[in-house]
Structure 1
Amino acid sequence: MKSKDYLKDISEIKDLMNKSSRFISLSGLSGVLAGIYAIIGATIAYFLVNNYSYGTLLLDGQIFRWVLLDLILIALFSIITAIILTTRKAKKNNAKIWDTSSKRLIVNFLIPLVTGGLYILIILGQQKYGQAGALMLIFYGLSLVNASKYSIGDIRYLGYIEIILGLVCALFPGYGFWLWVLGFGIMHIIYGTWMHFKYDRT
């Protein structure tokens, strides 16, 4: 009986240590909404390319700038939504929103993401557009995997999926748009829904 009690105590201590070193207030609903934003943004981009530039996105600087603005707005809305919903969840759970674990999470998420973003901007400036979608997926996936050490570990699986989709996108650039929608749109909705029911409703 005492042995079972010791094992239970050790398990509880391990759980407390894990929670103290990880930021676990991420909102699954924010992932769902990020996916919806991505699909809406992709629809707008598709409309712009096919109705105003006749499929010549690479040749029309004006349309390209509109599509780039579209991508920036998707990222901005996703970030704002994540901050609002995560803050609400943290307050509900009486957890700190800005502590050592959240700082580590943000730093480890941003290192691959910023590096990838700068690299993508460099190649876009050189008019090398073909691999931009693949690189977005790959570097975003690396960011998720890197950040999973300081958050809900399950996000690394989404990261693996994004990396795989990015590699497939690099192999088949003609399907880049649809793979981008699958990675940033559909997979976010699926993963966010799963995370919401697994973590947010407990």
Structure 2
Amino acid sequence: MNQKHQEDLSHIRSMMERSSRFISLSGLSGVFAGLSALIGGLYVCQLLEQNGINYFEASSKEFSLSLIYELITTGVVIFVFAFFFGIVFTVRKSRKDNLPIWTSSTKNMLIHLAIPLVVGGVFCLALLYHQMAVLIAPTTLLFYGLALVNAEKYTFSDIKYLGFCEIILGCVSLFYLGYGLIFWIIGFGVLHILYGLIVFKKYK
């Protein structure tokens, strides 16, 4: 009898979680987002070399405005690819688990995720406008981390740990200006891959 009650409670708990949290996030989306960031980072290194800049040896890194715009464009392309993979693997996982994709939990998660991201995007534009591009990489890490922590209550709780790591990395990056690309690759590349593998193994 007690076993039946435990099974009922477990079933009720599972139903409540499904209704209150967006649980269709796939670990593979994190892995592919990380791979996109790594490939993008390598492309940026090559792009800098083409412009006569050895990123890892130059003590002073001053980029032309056209190069900065090209770097931003690369970042946008990486984001689009990461977003695309996120949608593909989320839809795949939802169909596999027979779960609806667009629910109130999905809406709440996206809103809480979007607010810090939009504010961070505006802040980055302001930094670019005031010719303070050296702060853009730490800023993206900080606001992205805040967005993940803010959205955690509507999806897997594991995502907050990725958010905390991004925030810590962004804070450290503030004291090593000029090496933002390295921190950016670690934050959006390596950490995403590690997070994706952990989530995939835990919730597969």
- For 2:82, the equivalent position in structure 1 comes to 78
1:144 to 141, 148, 157: 148
Amino acid paired to 2:127: I
The answer for the alignment partner of 1:47 in structure 2 is: 46
Equivalent pairs, count: 199
> Could you tell me which residue of structure 2 aligns to residue 114 of structure 1?
118
TM-score, with length taken from structure 1: 0.92
- Contact 2:22 2:109 (C-alpha < 8 Å) held by counterparts: yes
Q: Equivalent residues in 2 for 1:1-202 (5 A)?
A: 1-2=1-2, 5-54=4-53, 58-200=62-204
Paired residue secondary structure (1:173): coil
Please provide the CA RMSD for this pair.
Answer: 1.6
Counterpart contact for 1:53–1:60, Cα < 8 Å: no
Query: 2:30 touches 2:86 (CA, 8 Å); kept in 1?
Result: yes
What does the per-residue CA deviation read over 1:87-145, in whole Å, with 9 as the maximum and x for residues that have no partner?
11101111111111111111111011111011111111111012111111010001111
CA distance in 2, matches of 1:128, 1:142: 21
Q: In 2, Cα distance between the equivalents of 1:29 and 1:60?
A: 36
TM-aligned CA deviation for residue 68 of structure 1: 1.0
- C-alpha distance in 1 between matches for 2:90 and 2:63: 41
Q: What's the offset of the Cα at 1:7? A: 4.5
Q: What TM-score, normalized by structure 2, do the two folds share?
A: 0.91
Name the amino acid aligned to 1:181. I
Percent sequence identity is: 40
| Counterpart contact for 2:21–2:154, Cα < 8 Å | yes
Note the alpha carbon deviations across 1:9-59, whole angstroms, 9 max, x for none. 334322321221000000111110110100111111111123314368644
Q: Does the 8 A contact of 2:61 with 2:178 survive in 1?
A: no
> Which consecutive unaligned segments of at least 5 residues does structure 1 have?
none
Structure 2 letter corresponding to 1:19 = R
Find the aligned partners of 1:168 and 1:100 in 2 and give their Cα distance: 36
Q: Distance in 2 between matches of 1:129 and 1:34?
A: 24
